[in-house]
């Protein structure tokens, strides 16, 4: 039945009907995967796409361009290069009252210190569930607080002890510990991302010493007042380049100038306290929109 219509489930909602050709295109672009629930006329009920023989056969790909050169979309145009619902850009949205409650919960955890790992995991699960990734429905974070509680408590105890000792060496050691904790947190975060109830199998391969170098550059750039925006933009690109386990490349499109003026707006708006939830949501939505997924080999830094 070449003219049949198809339906699929995305984030618990029925999508469709779609004609056969468009449905096959969804498969080719990774919107519909083996664990996606689908249905068409003649099926007794919803089934996973991977359980239907022959449905997920490898999609045809265009031949390599002469000379092995890959087309390079310009910065800012990557999103437009990917059409349909697989637009390439991430998106994020959340209710203001939810955010306020989560922020208050985090402040309480920070004050009492011990509950902070559990509060952090709870907030990460909440924020991840409100992030939309092309071709990855129902994004979730599966990390457990007990995995990081020993890192956190150990680092906290060492930093407190070093502060009692004092001196330049203690300050350097505290900085190295804080950077190490951040590096471990990034590895732990990517390793615990899942979609549709299945682990994504991602990993962060960036070495600690390189991450340390970026952290030092970021701290040093604060002296320049505005240079930190370019430093952190470059660091974000480096982090994304070192995420492994995905067939798509993660690209951060934002420039330092774009990052800077938005950060200035957030800083001054937060001084008035009340606008904090709205400006944080605005900034989070922008950061997500600047994170784009593209086929590997189609993008390179300028």
Angle, CA of 220, 76 and 214, to the nearest 5°: 20
Residue 69 pLDDT: 43
**What pLDDT, in 10s, does the model give residues 169-199?**
888 999 999 999 999 999 999 999 998 778 8
Biggest CA–CA distance in the chain, Å, is: 77
Question: What are the structure tokens assigned to 110, written together?
Answer: 């920070």
Mean pLDDT of 142-158: 89
The CA distances from residue 258 to 16, 19, 112, 264, in Å, are 37, 41, 36, 10
Q: Is the model more confident about 54 or about 259?
A: 259
Predicted confidence at residue 2, as pLDDT, reads 56
Residue 298: is its pLDDT beyond 90? no
Q: Is 64 exposed, middle or buried (0-12, 13-18, 19+ CB in 10 A)?
A: exposed
For residue 299, what pLDDT is reported?
63
Residue 244 Cα distances to 89, 202, 231, 247, angstroms: 18, 6, 23, 9
Partner residues linked to 293 by β-bridges: 250
pLDDT score of 138: 82
150/239 Cα distance (integer angstroms): 24
C-alpha distances (whole Å) from 255 to each of 80, 233, 240, 290, 301 are 18, 7, 15, 9, 12
In angstroms, the CA 218 to CA 79 distance is 28
User: What is the Cα 197 distance to its own chain's centre?
Assistant: 17
Residue 215 above 80 pLDDT? yes
Chain mean pLDDT for the chain: 84
Percentage above 70 pLDDT, the chain: 86
**Dist. CA 91–CA 107, nearest whole Å:** 26
């Amino acid at each position: 039945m070449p003219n049949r219509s198809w339906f699929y489930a995305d984030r618990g909602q029925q999508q469709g009907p779609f004609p056969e050709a468009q449905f096959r295109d969804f498969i080719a672009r990774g919107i519909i995967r083996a664990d996606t629930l689908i249905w068409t006329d003649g099926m007794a009920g919803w089934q996973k796409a991977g359980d239907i023989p022959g449905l997920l056969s490898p999609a045809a790909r265009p031949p390599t361009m002469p000379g092995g050169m890959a087309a390079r979309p310009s910065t800012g145009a990557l999103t437009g290069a990917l059409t349909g619902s697989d637009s390439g850009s991430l998106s994020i949205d959340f209710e203001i009252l939810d955010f306020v409650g989560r922020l208050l919960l985090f402040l309480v955890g920070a004050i009492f210190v011990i509950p902070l790992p559990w509060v952090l995991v709870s907030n990460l699960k909440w924020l991840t569930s409100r992030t939309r990734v092309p071709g990855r429905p129902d994004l979730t974070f599966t990390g457990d607080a007990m995995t990081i509680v020993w890192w956190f408590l150990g680092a906290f105890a060492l930093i407190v002890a070093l502060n009692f000792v004092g001196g330049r060496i203690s300050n350097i050691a505290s900085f190295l510990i804080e950077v190490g904790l951040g590096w471990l947190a990034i590895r732990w975060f990517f390793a615990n991302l899942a979609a549709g109830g299945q682990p994504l199998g991602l990993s962060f391969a960036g070495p600690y010493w390189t991450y340390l170098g970026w952290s030092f550059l970021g701290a040093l750039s604060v002296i320049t007042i505005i240079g930190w925006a370019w430093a952190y933009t470059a660091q974000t690109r480096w982090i994304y380049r070192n995420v492994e386990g995905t067939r798509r490349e993660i690209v951060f499109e934002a420039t330092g100038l774009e990052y800077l003026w938005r950060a200035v707006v957030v800083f001054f708006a937060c001084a008035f306290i009340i606008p904090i939830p709205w400006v944080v949501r605005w900034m989070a939505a922008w950061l997500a929109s600047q994170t784009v997924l593209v086929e590997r080999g189609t993008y390179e830094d300028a």
